[in-house]
Amino acid sequence: MVKNYLFSPVFRKIGYALLVVALVFFVLCLSFDQLAFGLQYPMISLTPPMDEEWTIFKFYPRITQGGWFEIVMTLMCVGCVFVAFSKEKEEDECIAQIRMQSLVWALMVNMVLVLLTTLFIYGGSYLTCMAVYPFSTFLFFIIKYNISLYQFRKNNEE
């Protein structure tokens, strides 16, 4: 028996719910000027405190006020993984192949975008794009997979 790392089908619904919550939360936070939640916990920074010089490969542990960004990112990470990697109710090897092909396609499209961004976008916008790309991979995969699955079912419905 080949082991796969997929979740049970119910996790897809949980994933969509988490993504909706993340979206609502994101819009709320933007509307209310970045709500702070007072979550304080140790984080690691690559940037030194004001009075220290920057040294490569040195980490500076500090207590930082966590907020909306960390929560939205957490919800999106978990939501994307649940939506993308949940089994179908009727899972079989044909669907596994469609999933694999869609994943390859999504990774390729995303890497082309990373390449184009690296070549043609500079500065802060580049970093913004790079923060989006982990999620765009999932987005491309989810869209491609669902279209392929729909076509497969439609073409073999007779």
Interface mask toward other proteins for 128-157; x: CB under 8 A: ------------------------xx-xxx
Question: Is position 51 an interface residue for other proteins (rule: CB under 8 A)?
Answer: no
d(CA 73, CA 31): 18
Burial class of residue 115 in the structure, from the number of CB atoms within 10 Å of its CB (0-12 exposed, 13-18 middle, 19+ buried): exposed
55 vs 146, beta carbon nearer other proteins? 146
- Residues within window 90-119 making contact with other proteins, judged by CB under 8 A: 90, 92-95, 97
34 vs 151, beta carbon nearer other proteins? 151
- Beta bridge partners of residue 64, listed in sequence order: 41
Q: Which residues contact 80 (CB under 8 A, 6 or more apart)?
A: 15, 19, 135, 138, 142
Strands 36-45 and 60-67, sheet pairing:
antiparallel
Q: For the CB of residue 40, give the shortest distance to other proteins in the complex, in Å.
A: 51
Residues that bind other proteins (CB under 8 A): 90, 92-95, 97, 152-153, 155-158
